[in-house]
Each structure stands twice: as structure tokens, then as C-alpha cells.
Chains A and B, each alone.
Chain A
Amino acid sequence: MCTVRDLVKTYPATRARRGAPAAPAVRANDGISLDIRHGEIFGLLGPNGAGKSTLVRQLTGLMRPDAGAIDLLGHDLVRHPGRAARLIGYLGQESTALDELTVSLAAETTGRLRGLDARTARAERDGVLDELGLADIAGRPLKKLSGGQRRLACFAAALVGPRPVLVLDEPTTGMDPVARRAVWAAVDRRRKRDGTTVVLVTHNVIEAETVLDRVAVLERGRVIACDTPAGLKKLVAHEVRLELLWREGPPLHVPEVAALSESAQCSGRRWVLRLDPDLARSAVAALTGGPAFEALDDFTLTTPSLEDVYLALGGRTQGLVKA
């Protein structure tokens, strides 16, 4: 239903200006190919700068690719980028255009600009605001809301006016768990009722594991893997993840700790290790039973997450959020 083939987008190099250093040309999308199926929640996972937003901007017609093809529901979006607006409901990262409107007017305006007549736009607005629990703050300007509430209001606006595809760029940033649940319930309802397909951009691995049907992992403008979250996790199923947090510094004089230090990824007082389950068990036993326990502030032993998959596939450390 959506096929992307060999998409390439390069941002040109910029000259140095006062206060801004020169930047070399960046190949933000370097031959991306994807197939998104009807009615699925398809995720784009990767750290900042992986090329997720660039890909989404080309999908939504905001940017022309340098090369490659995008076919959405039978429409060639490279040749006709204007059609994207008539197929896709898009939630971008910024709310600048809506900030000074009330929640209610933001939703209604969006509906009207999606071609709904006044009555339908108002009816849809009321429905969506009720569905997301925004009716109480409908009369308040977005600018005066908290970050999470503002994001939810923008999400509400994106839902007014039916579209077969929703493209959501980090929709739950700054939201509390209640708002997050409201977002996923609303997405699920549209999927079941209308067969809506959802493309979701995220750098949150927990969210990716729980809501996505399939996920493409992006790294430096390339798709390094594409499968179901469970399928990807099978890649590292033979490992578990051991995280150690030291009080001050690791007691390297303890032989067990010294042995672990070779395979640990250190960031400050935090060590992350991916180990064979048997090895991990004996390491935990040695650490908690011996003199190293005094130096240990906290430790966790977990099954691997998509973050571990990402790292195992050669992704750079950090950049993905677990929350």
C-alpha cells in the first residue's frame, strides 16, 4: 500500500556564518526502500539524525527526494507531492501554526482546511476532543497548555477529517501515561474501524515494542533492519542485558569486575553488558555475593530490548530512549 524505493535525499553543504560553523553535505536518506502494509502500525526507529524526519517529510510531500520512488495507495508521490495532503493526516513535531489558537479552534480549523464543511468539521472536532479527554480545556489556547497537553491537542487536530494514512512524528513526546494511552487507544480505534495505516516515528524503544506491528531501524540514512519487534529481538535472543550502576567507581581490583570490564560499555558510573544467560547469572552471583557488592549502587538483569538489537546491528550508542 506504500512502497518506497531507493529514496535518496542529500542536504547541501552550508558555508560558515557568524555563530554557525560550516556544515558538509549530509546524505540524510541513502537509498531507503520500504513496504508498508495496509492497516499496520509501521514504525521508524532510530536516534536523532538517522534520517527519520527526512523520510517522513518526503512521504508527506514537504520535500522532494533527489532520487527514488514513493507510491502511496496507487499514487506516485514523487511526481505529485500535492496528493499527499489528500491521503495523509500528518502530525509534525512543531505546533507553531496552532499555538495561539484554542484547542477547539485548532481542531475545527484543521477539519475545515481538510475540505470538511462547517457542520461536519464541528461534529468531528467535538467527537475527537471527547475521545481524547480534551473537552475541559477546549477553550484554552495551546500556548497556555503544558507540553504534553499541547501535543495531545495537536494530535486531536491531526485526527479531524478522515484519512486512510496517519503519519505521526513522535506523537507522545512530553505526554503523561494517561495521555499516551489515549493516543494509542485512538490510533487503535481508527485502525479497527477504518483500516487506517499508521506510520510512526519514534526513538522510544519501549513504545516501539508495545505499539508497533513492524519496525524499520534507521541508522545514518539507511534501513539496517525491518521486521516485527519480536522478530528483531530474536536476533539477540541468546543474550540478556546486565546493567550495573556503581556508587563511585568500579572496584577493578576485584577479579570478577576486572573480567567484566572488558566487555562492558561504560558511560560514567553506568555499565551495560550483553551476556550469555549463564554467564550473566554467574556474574550476578559473583557481584552480589562478593566484595564488589559494597561498591554496587543498583543492578538490573533484563531480556534484550530493541535498543540491544539496534546496538547489535551496528547502531551508535545512546540516542534511543527507554521510557
Chain B
Amino acid sequence: MNTDTVAGTGQKQREVSAVQAQAVTVTGRERIRPESADVTGGPDRPAAEAVPLAPRARLLPALATVYRAQLSRARVARIPLLFVATFQSVGIMVLMRGVVDGGDEARAVVAGSSVLVVAFVALNLLAQYFGQLRAGRGLDYYATLPVPPAAVVLGAAGAYASFTAPGTVVTAVAGSVLFQLPLAHLWILAAVIPLAGAALAGFGAALGLLAPRQELATLLGQLGMSAALLLGVLPAGHLPAPLAWCRDLLPSTYGVEALAHTFRPHTDWGLVTADLAVCAVVAVVSLAIATRAYRRAAVR
């Protein structure tokens, strides 16, 4: 075979196609500007010449759509993990039953175990999910749709916070019965789950999206959950000072405290409100960070 001849023809062909590239044809409904051949990132084009853009998805409908899609994933993938989260917390309470008689310690164990379910799902599993989505190029799906970043992060965080509700309620009720604590104020879970859930989910999403590697996202999620377990379940009075400071830095602590206060005979609602307010502030900040992290991770 005479390769020289072929290569020569190829060269010729390349020249031919370069000429074709300049000759922009006008076809169909749209007009093509002849000067479009020398586009060099100049100023914005007049709107009249550009094809109109399809609408963006609005924040709330998009958020609801992501939330719904994420919730439906629970049916396929999340239910076994919810059982694990609940059994783990109930197991810890049964274990502590032999050590703790009542009073502040019992309140801390039940509140800590209940919020641990939230930490397991919202922090640990969400960090893993976003880490996996980022590593597997799953974020491309959302990034190539005209959907606000906040809708993706808030929808997923909201769905994961919702997954935690049944497990948290079961743990709180089982713990209250086990340690003979009053059930009267358990309605506070209706505030604790969404607020602590949002704070921890924001934290988890940010970890998952910021971690440079998937394994690191998983590790950070696990560490966050372990911290919530150790620092949440053990009564604060018994911790050495540095651990007590760590405990104060952990967003789940304020959910635990809020729930623990309501088990007292005379609940100080001011303290409960203050703890929940901290959760709310942390939620806003961490979700904002997660949204920024999503933007950064989606387009490189």
C-alpha cells in the first residue's frame, strides 16, 4: 500500500474541509450570521439573533421534584439502612440501661440515641451519596439541566432528613419507655428532626461535595457520625474539657440538648428554643456552604 499517496490525499481533504467550514450555510428557520465564523468570545450578541432559551426550572417546583425523586430512592436503597440506624440506637440504649439508672444521664442517653439516627442518615449517608454522585459523574445529570443548585442540595438534604423521622420517633419512644421518661413532650421531635436534620444534612452534603475523593467523603461522614454518637450519647458532665468543647461545636449536640430538656419534670422552654435556634442557624450556614460546594463540583 502506498501510504504517501493516502497521507497526501488526507492533507488535501483537510484543506477542503477547512474551506467548507468557512462556508456557513443558511438553512431551516434560523439565521446564521456570516461573521459567526470568527467568533472569539466577543461581547454579548444582540438578542434578536439568538434562539430563545428554554425556561429555567423554578426553585420550589425543582426542589419538590428533587425531594420526591430522592424520597423514592428510599424504597429501593435506603430501607435496610434505616433499620440499621434504628437498631443501632436502640441497641445502645439497651446497653446503657445496665449502667445508667435515671436522671440527667438517662435523659442524655435517650436524646443522644434518638438524634444519632438523624446523624447516621442525614450526615453519614448524605455525605456518602454526594461523594458517590460526584465521583461517578452523577452530578453531570443535574448540571446539564437548568435547575437552581439550591434546589438540588435542599431537595436531597430535605429527603434525607425526612428518611430519619420514623427511626428517630421509634428510638425516642422506645428509650422513653425503657428509662421511664415522660412521653408527653415528644412532639418536640416535630421541630428537632427537621432542624437538626437540616443542620446535619447540610453538613453531610458539604462534606460529600468538598471531599476531593469519594473514600474521603465516606470517611468524613463516618467520623461525623461517630462524633455524634460519642459526644451525644455520653452525658456532658462526664467529659473532659477538650471533648466538651468538641461537643459544643457539633451541630447535633443542640438537637440532643433540646430533646433532653423536654424530658425534665419542668421543661425550660427558653433553653429548648435557644438550642433549636442554634440548629436553625447552623442549618442555614451549612446548606449555603453545600450549595456553593455543589456549584464548584458541578462545573470544572
Contact = CB atoms under 8 A, between A and B. Distances in A.
Given A39-B28, A61-B299, A85-B144, A76 B44 contact: yes
A109 interface: yes
A98 interface: yes
Nearest to A85: B146
B65 A113 contact: yes
A114 interface: yes
A117 B58 CA distance: 10
Contacts of B36: 3, 71
Contact of A226 (B9, B17, B39, B72): B17
A118 B40 CA distance: 40
Given A3-B36, A3-B39, A38 B55 contact: no
A93 B41 contact: no
Given A75-B53, A76-B44, A101-B73, A227 B13 contact: yes
Contact of B21 (A33, A74, A195, A314): A33
B54 A102 contact: no
Given A86-B55, A101-B69, A195 B28 contact: yes
Size bin of chain B's contact surface: 35 or more
Contacts of A281: none
Interface centre among B54, B76, B146, B299 (most CB of A within 10 A): B54
Contacts of B29: 38, 195
B141 interface: yes
A83 B144 contact: no
Nearest to B40: A69
A37 B38 contact: no
A300 interface: no
Interface stretch (B131-139, B161-169, B226-234, B265-273): B131-139
B158 to A, nearest CB: 15
Contacts of A275: 1
A239 B1 contact: yes
Given A86-B53, A87-B51, A274-B1, A113 B140 contact: no
Nearest to A87: B53
A116 to B, nearest CB: 8
Interface in A98-118: 98, 100-102, 105, 109-110, 112-115, 117-118
Interface string B1-33: 101001101100110110011001101111011
Size bin of chain A's contact surface: 35 or more
Interface string A52-90: 000000001111100001110111101101111111101
A31 interface: no
B187 interface: no
A91 B272 CA distance: 49
A252 interface: no
A40 to B, nearest CB: 9
A143 B45 contact: no
Interface string A282-323: 000000000000000000000000000000111000000000
Nearest to B31: A74
B143 A62 contact: yes
B187 to A, nearest CB: 33
Contact of B28 (A38, A117, A274): A38
Contacts, number: 191
B28 A94 contact: no
A163 B300 CA distance: 24
A85 B145 contact: yes
Contacts of B69: 101, 105, 109
Nearest to A164: B51
A92 B141 contact: yes
A88 B298 CA distance: 17
Contact of A102 (B1, B3, B72, B139): B72
Contacts of A112: 57, 61-62, 65
A96 interface: yes
Contact of B54 (A38, A114, A226): A114
A266 interface: no
A74 B21 CA distance: 17
Contacts of B51: 73-75, 87, 164
B19 to A, nearest CB: 11
Given A34-B21, A61-B144, A109-B65, A97 B138 contact: yes
A104 to B, nearest CB: 10
B39 A76 contact: yes
A148 interface: no
A132 to B, nearest CB: 19
17 contacts: A3-B36, A5-B38, A38-B29, A74-B50, A75-B51, A90-B140, A92-B141, A94-B140, A94-B141, A96-B137, A96-B138, A100-B76, A100-B77, A141-B76, A227-B16, A227-B17, A312-B7
Interface of B: 1, 3, 6-7, 9-10, 13-14, 16-17, 20-21, 24-25, 27-30, 32-33, 36-42, 44-45, 49-51, 53-58, 61-62, 65-66, 68-69, 72-73, 76-77, 132-133, 136-147, 298-300
Given A35-B21, A114-B57, 18 more contacts: A3-B24, A3-B36, A5-B39, A39-B28, A61-B143, A61-B144, A62-B144, A75-B50, A92-B140, A94-B141, A97-B140, A100-B72, A100-B76, A113-B66, A113-B145, A118-B61, A224-B14, A227-B17
